[in-house]
Amino acid sequence: MTLVVVGSVGIDTVETPHGRAENVVGGSSVYFSLAASHFTKVRLAANIGSDFPDQAWAALRERGADLDGIQSFDDQPTFRWSGKYEGNMNEAETLLTELNVLAEPPAIPTSYVGSPFVFLANMGPDVQLQALETLKGKVVFGDTMNLWIDIQREALLRVMKRLDGLILNDAEARELTGQSNLILAGEALLQMGPDIIVVKKGEHGATLFTKDFHFALPAFPTKCVVDPTGAGDSFAGGMLGYLAHHKDLSPASLRRAMVYGTAAASLTVEAFSTQALTQATRKDLDERFEQLVHFVRV
């Protein structure tokens, strides 16, 4: 089943204790699409500049992704981000952010309208709301970040009322709800509109909240975390890709989808940029899925 993602495409420079990667591929929609494309056909809507390398799309083209929604601007550069990870590497120190083409709303092809599954990756709630209106997706999940909670809270709350699911990290859940306890935060988020909430906790896994049940999942025991950039987007891609393929939001399907999301995130962090996720196969994801289900009942 088709899955549309609307989000950012970027060029990143990242420094971690394992080294430095300059001008590498990044962006929420790229990580998401690489993970989701192992399960279903992905349609991607995002903006790029003339400086974005065309070869970066090779893996997605090979997996049958629809890139008609990629809008290229000849007179502007691609969104750029630079960050540094230290210590436990759960959060990056942002050194540079240049919105560039990200300041423009993505152009969504008419062929994307009415898609069964939609993911609104991290971008301004005003842009997410516009995409919601245009796409008219049947099942819509979204993401957010602290910046939008700070400067576009009311717009974000309007978006949330129209989402079926929201995926965010623990710091964002606490800030958005004012609850320090994550269980109370998850339950409070359910009152804001979505029927499904997933709170990501980095190396401590993720927790799923619905009105009927909660489900906690540990992270995959990765021995070497090289670059955490994009792990949360890869998690969302693995999860939504699985759900879109199976066309099922039952408790059992949601739990299994989270395991695949966790597997995708664990692969992502083992190399800089999208390198590990680009090279990964469905077999790699399945093997990590099987290892994880030994720890939890899904």
**pLDDT tens, residue order, the chain (298 aa):** 799 999 999 999 999 999 999 999 999 999 999 999 999 999 999 999 999 999 999 999 999 999 999 999 999 999 999 999 998 788 889 999 999 999 899 999 999 999 999 999 988 899 999 999 999 999 999 999 888 899 999 999 999 999 999 999 999 999 999 999 999 999 999 999 999 999 999 889 999 999 999 999 999 999 889 999 999 999 999 999 999 999 999 999 999 999 999 999 999 999 999 999 999 999 999 999 999 987 776 6
Ramachandran region of residue 33, left (φ > 0), alpha (ψ -120 to 50) or beta? alpha
pLDDT value at residue 130: 94
pLDDT value at residue 298: 63
Q: Which residues are registered as beta bridge partners of 73?
A: 49
Domains and CATH numbers, the chain: 3-293 (3.40.1190.20)
- Asked if residue 252 lies in contact with residue 259, where contact means CB atoms within 8 angstroms, the answer is no
- Asked if residue 17 lies in contact with residue 125, where contact means CB atoms within 8 angstroms, the answer is no
pLDDT value at residue 184: 97
- How far CA 2 is from CA of 35, 114, 240, in Å, comes to 14, 10, 11
CB atoms within 10 A of CB 95: 12
Nearest-CA neighbor of 236 among 258, 204, 214?
258
